[in-house]
Each structure stands twice: as structure tokens, then as C-alpha cells.
Amino acid sequence: MLYVSVGDYTEDCIRRTSAFFDFNKKPEWFEDEFVRHTIRTIDRSEVIMGECIVSPVLGAIAPERLSSGCKGVILLRMLPERSIYATRCGDNCFPLIQELSKMQDVKILLHNCPKMPVDIEATFVESGKEVHNRREFVEEYYRLRHQYTGV
């Protein structure tokens, strides 16, 4: 299940996903098939061996050169107990986040309303409301977010 928060940052929320990933990644993360799928889908790159990744644009790269969004999704997969500030993720990350949420619980914090997959299913933490599509997601996001920003 996908759990979405829209309020203030919490202690368990990883805000600076790129820096956190760079200093906390583990070699075995890149043996995980979903992680490889994420790197292939978002950054169009392939894990060759260990932490060696090949990008069609950059050539052989270390994981530090992955995009922030890619790193965020990998953190969601490998650290399910943590929440990720998913505003750092582009719209192209959310189909993968949706896919991951069908495999395990996923917790994200959003301070923007991304273009979610049309059939997104999520639970908003602040209200407990379950949404079952993009329209419901957008409506609930802005209803809750207004309480925090006044706009």
C-alpha cells in the first residue's frame, strides 16, 4: 500500500534523498531485481556487476551519478521503514512507486502534486482517506495541503 503524507517533515522522512543514498547505499542493493528494474526504467541504465552501472549517455558510472528520483525509489525499496520526500521524484518515478506499493508498504511525503498513474491507489495519512484513481488523489491532496499552506 502507498501511504502519502502532505504535512510537515517528520523525523523518519529522508529529505535529501540523493545525499542520503550516496552515503548509505550498500552493494547488495544492486543485486535486487526491482532496483535493477528501477535503474533501467528511470535512468535507462543497466547494472553490470556490483555497483558498476552503464549509462547510454555517460558510459560506466557509479551509483552516485544516478538521478535523484531513481535514488529515491531505490531507498523506498530498500528502506521500507523510512518515508521519502518524493517531491524529489519526477512524474516518471510514480508508476514504479505504484508498482512497488503492490509488493510492500511505501511511505512518501509530498509537497507537490505529481501526475500520478490514472489508477493510483493510496491512503492519505493525515485523513485516512483511501483514493482509487488520479482524480481522487488530486482532490484529496489539495484539500489536505490547503490546511498547511493556506493556498
Partner 1 sequence: MNLLKNTIDLDISTPVYKFSCKLRRRLTIVHGDSGVGKSSLSALLLARPDDLKVECTLNLLLATPDQWSMTLNNAQDSVIIFDDMDCVETLEFAKLCHDTLVRNNNYLLLICRDEMPYLEDIDGEDGKRKALSISLDEIYNFKTDGINHWLEHDM
Binding footprint of partner 1 on the chain (CB under 8 A) = 15-16, 18, 42-44, 56-58, 67-70, 72, 87-93, 111-112, 114, 145, 149-151
Nearest residue (CB) to partner 1, 5 versus 67 = 67
Rounded least distance, CB 3 to partner 1, Å: 20
Nearest residue (CB) to partner 1, 38 versus 101 = 38
Rounded least distance, CB 150 to partner 1, Å: 7
DSSP 26: -
Task: Name the residue with cell 518515478.
Answer: 93
Rounded least distance, CB 44 to partner 1, Å: 7
Nearest residue (CB) to partner 1, 56 versus 128 = 56
Residue 95 near residue 104 (C-beta atoms within 8 A): no
Residue 6 near residue 109 (C-beta atoms within 8 A): yes
Rounded least distance, CB 129 to partner 1, Å: 20
DSSP 127: T
Nearest residue (CB) to partner 1, 25 versus 145 = 145
β-sheet bridge partners, residue 139: none
Burial (CB < 10 A; 0-12, 13-18, 19+), residue 34, is: middle
For residue 107, the SS3 value is strand
